[in-house]
Copies of this chain bind each other. A is one copy, B any other.
Amino acid sequence: MSSSEIEQAIALLSKLPTLGPRSARRAILFLLTKKQTHFAPLIEALKNVHDNIKTCPECGNMDTSVPCAVCSDVLRQKSLVCVVQDVADLWALERAGAFKGVYHVLGGVLSALDGIGPDELEIDSLVRKVETGAVSEVILALPATVEGQTTAHYISDRLADSGVKISALSRGVPVGGELDYLDDGTLQMAFKARREV
């Protein structure tokens, strides 16, 4: 029997993705045994994030500065806009360091099942951004799922008249990927998109 304070913290923690009641309880007990070295710093760090992190009005990234560090970086090419599903994907691309333009976070992908239509996503703002004429290429870095590809098609249609160049991430065998373990769809796609060496 633990106190109501602990139960409430466990209930809130267990709603985080990848955590359940059992792991939340273990986390709280771990923190209670490391009050000075871990618990106090974690509360402080979470409070810092809560108080200081804002959504960038230009791209939808989350950062302490407004506009975010990416949008305010003068070395990045503002005419290249990479469209991503969410902030997690933006951070993944930034960690890879593969892209030196700016981003546009959609806030999800079209999904009839979840009732997410074009109005729920930041698609109109993307079209307006392109219509200003400041964008030379839109790179669709959307997930290779049915919903992701539906969204990519919809955005391509909406931008068709603007004359902007539209591209998408290549598909194929991932680095380090054993052919034996890859799904049929990836192998077929890798064959179709094969290139001379």
A interface residues with partner B (beta carbon < 8 Å)? 1-3, 5-6, 8-9, 12-13, 15-19, 23, 25-32, 35, 38-43, 45-50, 52-53, 62-65, 69-70, 86-88, 91, 94-95
Our pick among B18, B52, B65 for the contact of A27 (Cβ within 8 Å) is: B18
Give min CB distance, A39 to chain B, whole Å: 5
Copies per assembly: 2
B41, A50: Cβ atoms closer than 8 Å:
no
Chain B residue at minimal CB-CB distance from A9: B45
What are 16 pairs between A and B in contact, CB < 8 Å? A2-B62, A3-B65, A5-B48, A6-B62, A12-B41, A16-B26, A17-B26, A19-B19, A26-B88, A29-B88, A31-B46, A32-B53, A39-B50, A40-B50, A42-B46, A43-B50
Residues of B within 8 A of A43 (CB): 43, 46-47, 50
Q: How far is the CA of A13 from the CA of B9 in the complex (A)?
A: 15
Residue of B nearest to A15 (CB): B38
Do residues A46 and B9 form an inter-chain contact, with CB atoms below 8 A?
yes
Q: How far is the CB of A100 from chain B (nearest CB, A)?
A: 12
B38 touches A12 (CB 8 A): yes
A39 closest partner in B (C-beta): B50
Residue of B23, B45, B91 near A8 (CB, 8 A) is B45
A13 / chain B contacts, CB cutoff of 8 Å: 42
Report how far A61 CA is from B16 CA in the complex, Å: 26
Interface pair B30/A17, CB less than 8 Å apart:
yes
- Closest residue of B by beta carbon distance from A34: B15
